[in-house]
Structure formats: structure tokens, C-alpha cells
């Protein structure tokens, strides 16, 4: 039985992205699409992408632009994240970040993505994602040739607002013995 489970990929923690949603003036509802899904654009004008402690090469960048072209399935059971953003590293290099995710619409997530006044933090376990990077820094080229997957949560803070945190790991090839 164990031999049937060999050859599966492993994960190496890589980086954490945090993007801040502009809930005051950065929400643009599209409404219902022809296929029944609901579309909303969320502006995410700031945030960070940073390697986890111990990851090499270490890097940190600040988002200068970002937005999520979010859609809710017609049945309301799942949401679809389509985040695109540009970050600038501390060394002045550009990083294009694209994250595609699936949100299971439990009570907490439904309140956040429907912008209910009583929305609260959505813990890990409701949002999974994959990320793609385009970089201008040669030391970060590995991001362009890696597959990254993530686990996200939504942090709600009365003072700082809404922050989406995505913890991303690089998918590693393994060998079967």
C-alpha cells in the first residue's frame, strides 16, 4: 500500500503575501453576470510579499498596485479569487503577482465577501490558492519557474481594515523509491 503513495510532491514554505482591501472607496460591484455568478472588483492598493524566515534567497517587497476580480458562483457555495498586483522589492525590482483561489463560503467567508457589517476574521481552512510570479530581479527568477500553492485567511481589524494573508509554499518534485 505504501508504494502506491510514493512520488507525490512535497511543499517548502516560501513566502507570505498580505494585501489590504480598500473597503472605503475601492469596491466596485459588477453585479450578476449572464451565467448567474456575481462579480465584484476589490482594490488592494497596499501590502507586502515577503519570504518566510530561513528561506533563501530572502526577499521583501511592497505592493504598489493590486486588485481582486472576485466572482461568486451562481449557487453561492464558492467564491473565486483572481488577484493581480505589482510589488517593488527593497532593492527596487518589480514583481508581478497573480493569485487564483477558491473560497468555500462558510458563514464567516460569506459575511466578508458580501461585506456584511458584522463580518469577522476568516481563519485558515476556507481559502486555497495557487500563485504565479513574473520578476525583474535575477535572484528571484526561481519564482517564475516554480509552482506555488497557498492557504489564505482574511483578517478583519476595526482600525486597519481588511487584509488578505496568503501563506505560499513551493511545490517540490520527489522521487519514488
List pLDDT tens digits, range 108-139. Answer: 888 888 778 888 999 999 999 999 999 999 99
Mean pLDDT of 85-99: 97
- For residue 177, being part of any structural domain is answered with no
Closest to 148 in 3D by CA, of 121, 166, 125, 175: 166
Percent of the chain with pLDDT over 70: 97
- Whether pLDDT at 65 is above 70: yes
- Total of domains in the chain: 1
pLDDT of residue 2: 54
- For residue 153, being part of any structural domain is answered with yes
- Whether pLDDT at 4 is above 80: no
pLDDT band for position 87 (cuts 50, 70, 90) = very high
91 near 137, Cβ under 8 Å? yes
What range defines the domain where residue 103 resides?
2-172
pLDDT of residue 3: 61
Closest to 118 in 3D by CA, of 70, 175, 156: 156
Closest to 161 in 3D by CA, of 107, 121, 110, 108: 121
Q: What share of the chain is helix, strand, coil (3-state, %, to 5)?
A: 10, 60, 35
pLDDT of residue 146: 96
- For residue 25, being part of any structural domain is answered with yes
- For residue 65, being part of any structural domain is answered with yes
- For residue 113, being part of any structural domain is answered with yes
Angle at alpha carbon of residue 37, lines to 35 and 41, rounded to 5°: 125
CATH number at residue 44: 2.40.160.20
Torsion sign across C-alpha atoms 51, 57, 58, 60:
negative
pLDDT of residue 114: 79
Tell me the whole-structure pTM to 2 decimals: 0.91
pLDDT of residue 159: 81
Rg (CA), the chain: 17
- For residue 129, being part of any structural domain is answered with yes
pLDDT of residue 148: 98
CB-based burial, 91-115: b 16+ in 10 Å, e otherwise: eebebbbebebebebeebbbbbbee
Element (H, E) at 109: helix 107-113
Amino acid at each position: 500500500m505504501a508504494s502506491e503513495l510514493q512520488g507525490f510532491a512535497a511543499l517548502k514554505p516560501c513566502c507570505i503575501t498580505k494585501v489590504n482591501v480598500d473597503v472605503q472607496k475601492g469596491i466596485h460591484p459588477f453585479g450578476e453576470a449572464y451565467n448567474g455568478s456575481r462579480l465584484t472588483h476589490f482594490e488592494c492598493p497596499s501590502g507586502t510579499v515577503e519570504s518566510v524566515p530561513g528561506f533563501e534567497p530572502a526577499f521583501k517587497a511592497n505592493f504598489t498596485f493590486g486588485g481582486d476580480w472576485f466572482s461568486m458562483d451562481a449557487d453561492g457555495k464558492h467564491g473565486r479569487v483572481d488577484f493581480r498586483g505589482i510589488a517593488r522589492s527593497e532593492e527596487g525590482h518589480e514583481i508581478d503577482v497573480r493569485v487564483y483561489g477558491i473560497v468555500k463560503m462558510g458563514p464567516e467567508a460569506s459575511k466578508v465577501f458580501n461585506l456584511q457589517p458584522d463580518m469577522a476574521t476568516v481563519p485558515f481552512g476556507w481559502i486555497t490558492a495557487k500563485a504565479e510570479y513574473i520578476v525583474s530581479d535575477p535572484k528571484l527568477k526561481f519564482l517564475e519557474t516554480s509552482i506555488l500553492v497557498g492557504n489564505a485567511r482574511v483578517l478583519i481589524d476595526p482600525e486597519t481594515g481588511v487584509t488578505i494573508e496568503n501563506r505560499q509554499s513551493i511545490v517540490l518534485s520527489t522521487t519514488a523509491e
